[in-house]
Structure 1
Amino acid sequence: MDEINKNRLFLASCIALIVTAMTFAIRARLETVFGPEGIGLSLEQIGYAFTPAFWGFTLAMIIGGPLVDSLGIKKITWIAFITHAIGIILTLFATSMTSLFIATLFVGIGNGMVEAALNPMIASIYQENKTKMLNRFHVWFPGGIVIGALVGYLVMDVMGLSWQIMVATLFIPLVIYGALFLGQKFPVTERVQMGVSYGDMLKSVFKPLFIFMVVCMFLTAASELANTQRIESLLSKSIAKPLLVLAFINGIMAFGRAFAGQVIHKLRPAGMLLFSAIFTFIGLWLLSSVSGTMVIVAAAIFAVGVTFFWPTMLGFVAEYLPETGALGLSIMGGAGMFSVSVVLPIMGNMLDNATPSEVLRIMSVLPAILIVAFLGLNMYMRKRNSLRTEN
């Protein structure tokens, strides 16, 4: 570890995650370009064209997770860089549902490889503060969405420039993270450091607690990412500039994750997840019934809820199920993105046939289920900790 430049690797990782996050915000803006008022795709078709961003992400994480141990973190990181570059170029030339689908697939694979490589790398170089540093790393997912949302607003709405220029801005952080990773020495994964065999790692992902967390990841990811990805359609009738609301939500998320350490210390990961589910439910329910300035209040409550979902789910697995290794983190991230790939076209169909308020109420059922699930998780963890204390 002495030869590894932790600070540079962490900085490069954060910028790589900014690229991933900016694609989410820019894709949300592209809904208006390719949708009914643009080239004429229905919202359901847009949903299908965007799904590769999520199941491509899933595929990359599920394949990339095990390969992180065998090929190494470095090679997976450079695969992320190459597929990101291809996906951005193809997006610039997209003119139809099919070409947008293919471009989004490459972007999704690049995004997945970023998570597959860099989550276990951060868990490896910051073994004493895994959940804290994963939250700090994931500051730049909402942070990158804020950047992407503001870029989209400034380029297209303020300056009146083409959507291609908006997409081309992705090359700036792409080149920066490539330059920062260039020539660096990467660590081996924590599973390799611990000496856990590949077979034991495979067995560990079938533990009931891990399976429970995977199921919960389906719901936490859909609660956060499906709603924010379709924010243009969900809030178009209740506020003038939904993309700015997206920037506001993610600004709150970035701030919260930057100071997650103190919250983690007080609530522990299981308590944090319960807190998140409660606020997410309240926020979605309010968003379904308010308009004007009250949308900002409801969006703030929703943002407080989803702030800790993704990194704390990963941190919980890294902290309490470390033997699952890079595979465990990849399965978690993959499950989250797969759920969004399933939900997006369903939401598109609902939006074509129902009001945004009705769709938001339906989506609020997901965090309601999570409240019950995380109440159970808290009781289980308290019992488990008390038994360990007694022994």
Structure 2
Amino acid sequence: MNEINTKRLFIASCMALLVTAMTFAIRARLETVFGPEGVGLTLEQIGYAFTPAFWGFTLAMIIGGPLVDSLGIKKITWIAFIAHAIGIIWTILAKDMTSLFLATLFVGIGNGMVEAALNPMIASMYPKQKTKMLNRFHVWFPGGIVIGSLVGWLVMDVMGLGWQVMVAVLFIPLVIYGIMFLGQAFPLTERVQLGVSNSKMISSLGKPLFIFMVVCMFLTAASELGTTQRIESLLKESVAVPLLVLAFINGIMAMGRAFAGQVVHRLKPAGMLLFSAIFTFIGLWLLTITSGGMTFAAAAVFAVGVTFFWPTMLGFVAEYLPQTGALGLSIMGGAGMLSVSVVLPIMGNLMDNASAGEALRTMSILPAILIVLFVGLNIYMKKQEKKTLEEA
């Protein structure tokens, strides 16, 4: 059997996540193509057409999570590749709400399978650096959104080419990650390596701490992705090119995640989450009262807040609840994406019938709740650490 090339697998994983992230940015740009001034869909209809990206992602993660242990990481990764390819082709051919809905569903399934397979693979390859390496892996989510945002701007706004060309650019990282994974040996998941039984894994999923983290994941993901996925509509009255604000936000996020190791060392996962919730709340409120150049300042505060949400939530579960295995990480990611599928139509309805400012103010309630929850989490974790030291 071939030796596991962790470096090549990690880079290939980053390319797969790059495809996932670019679909988010390109989908945000497609809102103007299929919206009221384009094909003619309302913003609420656009919200429904985009929801399969999130509940399809959720479905893929919930199904893919347990299958990662039984079928192996390799098979789930190739399912992701096939779903991505179908979704990209179907998006290029989309002409109405139904075809856009189905195309988005396949893209969502591909994205979900990427997370279902590769989060546990990275946790398995770097058992002593889980939160750090998951943050480094997830650099490519904001990094990919930056690239996708710039591709959309350059292809459509600068070069004046069709939106189909913008979508077709996704084939480049798709082919790269397919070639890099081809013929490689993949590690076993950590749960399989540790010999944790299915019954023990299932019982671990019922622990109050895990359930608490799932609830928090609903709120953290909606705060981040619910906002950024509707950026075109939310900020069209504030700035000339909202997609550049999206690139700016995700550029900050990529830098933050690249240097997450230092932050993890200083704050620990629970502290990072509280820090994130505070800045996300402030950033969302500032976005409701700023325009022009100051929108970028408000966006910077928001970006600092959401930078560590997703990977640190996964890292926390991988570090403190390892018995939940790949399924635990998949449930976390699935919960996050499911929440966004609920939020998108609600935001669209608010923007159709009220205003973008009202939608942002409503979204700010979520990190406000998280501040309270993460204060409690920090108190709980400090008590647990003290208890562990006393027993040692």
- How far did residue 292 of structure 1 move? 0.9
Give the alignment of 1:220-235 within 5 angstroms: 220-235=220-235
Matching residue of 1:248: 248
Q: Secondary structure at the match of 2:370?
A: helix
Asked if residue 276 in structure 1 is aligned to residue 270 in structure 2, the reply is no
Q: Secondary structure at the match of 2:289?
A: coil
CA distance in structure 1 between the partners assigned to 2:252 and 2:290 by the alignment: 20
Matching residue of 2:115: 115
Structure 1: which amino acid aligns with 2:332? M
The gaps in structure 1 that reach 5 residues or longer are none
Matching residue of 2:71: 71
- How far did residue 359 of structure 1 move? 1.1
Deviating more after overlay: 350-359 vs 215-224: 350-359
Give the alignment of 1:298-317 within 5 angstroms: 298-317=298-317
CA distance in structure 1 between the partners assigned to 2:92 and 2:338 by the alignment: 25
Matching residue of 2:38: 38
Matching residue of 2:99: 99
Give the alignment of 1:303-382 within 5 angstroms: 303-382=303-382
Matching residue of 1:134: 134
- How far did residue 102 of structure 1 move? 0.2
CA distance in structure 2 between the partners assigned to 1:92 and 1:355 by the alignment: 31
Deviating more after overlay: 19-28 vs 353-362: 353-362
Structure 2: which amino acid aligns with 1:390? E
Asked if residue 169 in structure 1 is aligned to residue 169 in structure 2, the reply is yes
Do 2:136 and 2:258's aligned partners in 1 also have CA atoms closer than 8 Å?
yes
Structure 2: which amino acid aligns with 1:29? R
Do 2:2 and 2:184's aligned partners in 1 also have CA atoms closer than 8 Å?
no
**Normalised by the size of structure 1, how large is the TM-score?**
0.99
Matching residue of 2:55: 55
Structure 2: which amino acid aligns with 1:110? G
Do 2:2 and 2:185's aligned partners in 1 also have CA atoms closer than 8 Å?
no
Q: Secondary structure at the match of 2:54?
A: helix
- How far did residue 2 of structure 1 move? 8.8
Deviating more after overlay: 208-217 vs 350-359: 350-359
Matching residue of 1:384: 384
Matching residue of 2:260: 260
- Which stretches of structure 1, 4 residues or longer, exceed 3 Å deviation after superposition? none
CA distance in structure 2 between the partners assigned to 1:162 and 1:359 by the alignment: 30
CA distance in structure 1 between the partners assigned to 2:68 and 2:251 by the alignment: 31
Question: 1:121-153 CA deviation, whole Å, 9 max, x = no partner?
Answer: 000000010000000000000000000000000
CA distance in structure 1 between the partners assigned to 2:219 and 2:75 by the alignment: 31
Asked if residue 190 in structure 1 is aligned to residue 199 in structure 2, the reply is no
Change (3 A) 1:276 1:2: farther
CA distance in structure 2 between the partners assigned to 1:243 and 1:310 by the alignment: 21
CA distance in structure 1 between the partners assigned to 2:259 and 2:191 by the alignment: 28
Asked if residue 205 in structure 1 is aligned to residue 205 in structure 2, the reply is yes
Give aligned pairs, total: 391
Structure 2: which amino acid aligns with 1:156? M
- How far did residue 58 of structure 1 move? 0.1
Question: 1:11-58 CA deviation, whole Å, 9 max, x = no partner?
Answer: 000000000000000000000000000010000000000000000000
Asked if residue 16 in structure 1 is aligned to residue 16 in structure 2, the reply is yes
Structure 2: which amino acid aligns with 1:290? T
Matching residue of 2:155: 155
- How far did residue 378 of structure 1 move? 0.1
Matching residue of 1:143: 143
Matching residue of 2:7: 7
Question: 1:258-289 CA deviation, whole Å, 9 max, x = no partner?
Answer: 00000000000000000000000000000011
CA distance in structure 2 between the partners assigned to 1:27 and 1:388 by the alignment: 47
Question: 1:313-339 CA deviation, whole Å, 9 max, x = no partner?
Answer: 000000000000000000000000000
CA distance in structure 2 between the partners assigned to 1:114 and 1:147 by the alignment: 19
Asked if residue 25 in structure 1 is aligned to residue 34 in structure 2, the reply is no
Structure 2: which amino acid aligns with 1:313? M
CA distance in structure 2 between the partners assigned to 1:267 and 1:381 by the alignment: 12
Asked if residue 285 in structure 1 is aligned to residue 292 in structure 2, the reply is no
Q: Secondary structure at the match of 1:288?
A: helix
Q: Secondary structure at the match of 1:183?
A: coil
Change (3 A) 1:174 1:2: closer
Structure 2: which amino acid aligns with 1:286? L
CA distance in structure 2 between the partners assigned to 1:354 and 1:140 by the alignment: 35
Question: 1:210-264 CA deviation, whole Å, 9 max, x = no partner?
Answer: 0000000000000000000000000000111100000000000000000000000
CA distance in structure 2 between the partners assigned to 1:131 and 1:379 by the alignment: 20
CA distance in structure 1 between the partners assigned to 2:203 and 2:87 by the alignment: 35
CA distance in structure 1 between the partners assigned to 2:205 and 2:56 by the alignment: 21
Q: Secondary structure at the match of 1:187?
A: coil
Percent sequence identity over aligned pairs: 81
Structure 2: which amino acid aligns with 1:265? H
Q: Secondary structure at the match of 1:18?
A: helix
Do 2:77 and 2:113's aligned partners in 1 also have CA atoms closer than 8 Å?
yes
CA distance in structure 2 between the partners assigned to 1:40 and 1:293 by the alignment: 30
Matching residue of 2:178: 178
- How far did residue 355 of structure 1 move? 1.1
The gaps in structure 2 that reach 5 residues or longer are none
Structure 2: which amino acid aligns with 1:329? L
